[in-house]
């Protein structure tokens, strides 16, 4: 492990330089990795491992035809490397449980009997284990329980891998029955395309993840954009101007500077007028949203957000309701303006 200084705090980070793909292949040479669920994270992690020379099979319910057909299109062969869920879980020695959180609760009675002594049960989210009183996912004591959580969507995991960049991931060992759980999870972490692996716990992973998704990464970002766009429109600005100042400049210019060298670098490369305004208004926005973030974290830690997720995503008409909400978002003037602006980009006309 490398010691990295994070603003005066030293943290252990595992890199591909020290934990090489050759070491990964050696550790996993006798393992069969069964990827359960070919939806969001499953395809990316499975294909990256396959490309890295790892023995990978897929467990997917055939009745979910789109996901089954995608696995076939990606080169997995029914009866050889593609099976129903129970059969794949029984054949695997490392079982990657990559269905949705609600599906993990529902499928657990079918998965648990397939786990053999010495197997490893792998998660990419700490949800089911941390909130076990709500999910009922309690692993047997004679297996390893491990986690690797890429900090990005499955699409990003695959794209970064193909670009040779890798993606940041968190990792954790919840239960080490075999004595080799740490080696297993670090090897899998590298095999799925992680560039850097940061230690965490199942609990901290899910608390930070749920807070981030509801906060800066998705919920807060979309809400702030809605508010600024609305204010600009109410004051007579055109849809294109309001969209450009709310979204386009952020995604196509400024956030790339933040990614490159940090927020101070982005500020330094903007006008003096922009710098002054941003520095003045930053504390006001922080003060305004701090109570919301504190309430959000409290709800995540107490399990209230877990209950909300399980109740809503477990409803029989959930997909219908979700699509209605997503359509409402996509059909808003803000994102219709966005679609029009994107069409003007080179290559889209």
Helix (H, G, I), strand (E, B) or coil at 137: coil
Query: CA–CA separation, 24 vs 166, rounded Å?
Result: 15
Structure tokens at 126: 């700490």
Query: CA–CA separation, 234 vs 147, rounded Å?
Result: 47
Beta-strand pair 167-175/194-199: parallel
Query: CA–CA separation, 329 vs 346, rounded Å?
Result: 26
Among 125, 158, 214, 233, the one annotated catalytic: 125
Helix (H, G, I), strand (E, B) or coil at 37: coil
Strands of 82-83's sheet in order across: 2-6, 9-15, 194-199, 167-175, 144-150, 120-123, 94-97, 33-36, 56-59, 82-83
Contact 36, 85 (CB under 8 A): yes
CA distances from 252 to 165, 221, 247, 249, 321 (A): 20, 15, 8, 5, 32
312-324 b/e (C-beta count within 10 Å ≥ 16 → b)? ebeeeeeeeeeee
Active site residue 125: yes
Query: CA–CA separation, 243 vs 333, rounded Å?
Result: 9
DSSP 112: G
Q: Where are the alpha helices (DSSP H) in 131-218?
A: 132-135, 154-163, 181-191, 202-214
Place of tokens 């429109």: 233
Q: What are the catalytic residues?
A: 125
């Amino acid at each position: 492990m490398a010691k990295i200084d994070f603003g005066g705090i030293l943290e252990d980070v595992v890199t591909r330089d020290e934990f090489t793909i050759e070491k990964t292949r050696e550790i996993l040479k006798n393992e069969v990795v069964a990827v359960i669920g070919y939806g969001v994270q499953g395809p990316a992690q499975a294909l990256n491992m396959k490309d890295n020379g790892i023995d990978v099979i897929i467990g997917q319910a055939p009745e979910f035809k789109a996901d089954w057909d995608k696995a076939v299109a990606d080169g997995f062969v029914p009866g050889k490397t593609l099976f129903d869920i129970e059969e794949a879980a029984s054949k695997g020695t490392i079982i990657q449980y990559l269905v949705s959180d609600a599906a993990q609760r529902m499928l657990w009675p079918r998965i648990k009997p397939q786990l053999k002594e010495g197997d490893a049960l792998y998660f990419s989210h700490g949800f089911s284990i941390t909130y076990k009183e709500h999910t009922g996912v309690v692993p047997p004591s004679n297996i390893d329980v491990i986690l690797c959580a890429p900090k990005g969507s499955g699409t990003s995991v695959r794209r970064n891998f193909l670009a040779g960049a890798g993606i940041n991931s968190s990792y954790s060992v919840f239960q080490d029955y075999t004595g080799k759980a740490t080696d297993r999870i670090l090897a899998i972490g590298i095999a799925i395309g992680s560039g850097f692996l940061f230690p965490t716990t199942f609990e901290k992973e899910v608390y930070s993840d749920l807070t981030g998704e509801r906060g800066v990464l998705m919920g807060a970002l979309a809400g702030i954009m809605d508010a600024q766009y609305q204010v600009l429109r109410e004051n007579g600005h055109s849809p294109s101007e309001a969209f450009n100042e709310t979204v386009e400049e952020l995604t196509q210019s400024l956030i790339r500077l933040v990614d490159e060298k940090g927020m101070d670098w982005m500020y330094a490369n903007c006008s003096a007028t922009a710098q002054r305004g941003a520095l003045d208004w930053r504390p006001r926005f922080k003060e305004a949203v701090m109570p919301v973030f504190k309430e959000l974290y409290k709800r995540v830690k107490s399990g209230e957000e877990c209950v909300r997720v399980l109740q809503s995503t477990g409803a029989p008409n959930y997909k219908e309701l979700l699509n209605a909400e997503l359509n409402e978002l996509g059909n808003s003037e803000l994102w219709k303006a966005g679609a029009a602006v994107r069409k003007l980009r080179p290559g889209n006309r």
